[in-house]
Amino acid sequence: MGVIALTGPAASAGYQVRPWREALPGLLAKTAKESDLIILLSDLPLADTQTVVATYPAIRIVIQGGPTQSSQAANPQSRPTGSTPILSVAPEGRQLGVLDIDWRPGRPWAPQELARLTAARTALTLTRSELKKLAPRGSSPSGATNPARQALTARKLALESEIKELSAKLDPANLKAGFSTYVNRTINLDASRPEDPAVKAITERLDTGKAASPGP
């Protein structure tokens, strides 16, 4: 696994930041020789990140942060651009998260339809179970005189229709071969708590050192 990070425009004097179009190709080529799964950490504006993943399909997943994402921090989500998911996270370490990846080289990420299909099948199983509990022995399965059974029956029919529609959209060959999958879990940290003085001092010292030593 290889991890590449791209930052946005530097806010501090002393930094020399090259445009990603200049810096990324060589770095990506080197990383691709050593890794079959490349993850990008991006602090670029979202529009630039989308351009990056559209241009370089070798990047297989993106964790997108920065001030432009703060309004979406409470509800991180995946934005598929081609076959590369972009996962939003809060800036400045305001979230703690775990990204579980089941990576299968050469296999695409599971499409949204597959997740919806799995959820619909689970819901259908539960709905059928509830219907069975409500149906008196020997009664009609339609439940014409029972409002609760009528509602469950309607839900069952709707789920069956949804499952049929989603199944038709999925390539059977891909389903048989399997997909790469990921699960992104995050929690918001309490930003109102004061910073630890010792940690703050270390961070400030590191920031000062970076500003004094401009990078290429």
Q: Delimit the domains of the chain by residue range.
A: 2-109+179-212, 112-173
Q: Which two tokens stand for residue 44?
A: 């670029």
Question: How many residues would you count in the chain?
Answer: 216
- Residue 111 per-residue DSSP state: P
Is the pLDDT reported for residue 125 higher than 50?
A: yes
The band of 25, judged by pLDDT with boundaries at 50, 70 and 90, is very high
φ and ψ at residue 156, rounded to 5 degrees: -60, -45
Strands, sheet with 38-42, edge to edge from the N-terminal-most edge strand: 2-6, 38-42, 59-64, 86-88
| Alpha carbon 152 to its chain's center | 32
pLDDT in tens, 183-210: 777 777 776 777 778 777 776 765 554 4
Q: Burial-class residue 19 by CB neighbours within 10 Å (0-12, 13-18, 19+).
A: exposed
The band of 148, judged by pLDDT with boundaries at 50, 70 and 90, is confident
Q: What is the mean pLDDT of the chain?
A: 75
The band of 177, judged by pLDDT with boundaries at 50, 70 and 90, is low
Which string of DSSP letters, residue by residue, matches 154-195? HHHHHHHHHHHHHHHHS-HHHHHH--BEEEEEEEE--TTSPP
Is the pLDDT reported for residue 35 higher than 60?
A: yes
Is the pLDDT reported for residue 119 higher than 90?
A: no
Out of 3.40.718.10, 3.40.50.1820, 3.90.550.10, 3.60.21.10, select the CATH number for domain 2-109+179-212: 3.60.21.10
The reported pLDDT for the residue numbered 145 is: 61
**Which has the closest alpha carbon to 105: 28, 178, 24, 52?**
178
The reported pLDDT for the residue numbered 66 is: 61
pLDDT in tens, 51-73: 998 899 889 889 888 654 433 33
- Counting residues of the chain whose pLDDT is more than 90, the rounded percentage is 17
Element (H, E) at 3: strand 2-6
What's the CA gap between 78 and 87, in Å, rounded? 5
**Which has the closest alpha carbon to 91: 17, 167, 189?**
189
The reported pLDDT for the residue numbered 206 is: 57
- Residue 84 per-residue DSSP state: B
DSSP reduced 3-state for 62: strand
**Which has the closest alpha carbon to 85: 119, 42, 120?**
42
Name the least confident of 20-24, 99-103, 126-130, 188-192. Answer: 188-192
The reported pLDDT for the residue numbered 78 is: 46
Q: Which two tokens stand for residue 187?
A: 């929690």
pTM of the entire predicted model: 0.55
| Top-confidence residue, 119 or 195 | 119
The reported pLDDT for the residue numbered 158 is: 93
